[in-house]
A = this chain, B = another copy of it.
């Protein structure tokens, strides 16, 4: 049995479905239709069906999808049957907030290590975890079996940290620093840039303000799914 490749666009929505499904399961729902799931996730029902069809045929015509089963299949597909350990580099404002964020543990991600270069920070504890020096990164990755690196450093340090992470064997990096990172083939990077999100909103805010002024109608311009 070969795992068919799941389209990237689908991969970004699976976690969304998963969250909705877990909520439904908590509410005691046994099955769910693509219509209901679509509404709750903010996409079209055809899109839901197409997405889920990439995982296999787990629905029942006339009934819908078995909630528990679908949760299992999505978890499996996303690789969430195992827990992952993450390492956070940079414990400034954002890094500290991430280190304390409870949402990670709830979804199976363990913050296994915190690192920084600032002597004033190294050795302190955040949420019970000691901040270690950047130089210990390789040792920590090995000892804690870290799989994902999170970069929350200033932009100027981001590339160096990324290089060290790759060097230490990490192949998945989540970058919060406002900098473009270069990594070798085979390393996956995702980035979240907070200021860029605001700049994108600025565009639509300005556009809508103009439209209102002119009284023109244009295209809907409704809610835009982020991320």
Rounded to whole angstroms, the CA-CA distance of A220 and B183 in the bound complex is: 13
Is there an interface contact between B199 and A190, defined as CB atoms closer than 8 Å?
A: no
User: A191 is contacted by which of B11, B78, B173, B226 (Cβ under 8 Å)?
Assistant: B226
Chain B residues lying within 8 Å of A19, measured Cβ to Cβ, are 178, 196
A40 at the interface (CB under 8 A from B): yes
Is there an interface contact between B107 and A190, defined as CB atoms closer than 8 Å?
A: no
Rounded to whole angstroms, the CA-CA distance of A11 and B204 in the bound complex is: 9
User: A221 is contacted by which of B186, B198, B203 (Cβ under 8 Å)?
Assistant: B186
Is there an interface contact between A220 and B185, defined as CB atoms closer than 8 Å?
A: yes
Query: Who on chain B is nearest to A104 by CB?
Result: B195
Size of the chain A interface, CB-CB below 8 angstroms:
78
Contact with B along A102-142 (1 / 0, CB 8 A): 01101101000000000000000000000000000000000
Is there an interface contact between A196 and B15, defined as CB atoms closer than 8 Å?
A: yes
Q: How far is the CB of A35 from chain B (nearest CB, A)?
A: 15
Chain B residues lying within 8 Å of A206, measured Cβ to Cβ, are 78-79
Query: Who on chain B is nearest to A179 by CB?
Result: B19
A46 at the interface (CB under 8 A from B): no
A213 at the interface (CB under 8 A from B): no
Top 3 nearest A-B pairs (CB, nearest first) are A79-B206, A190-B226, A97-B97
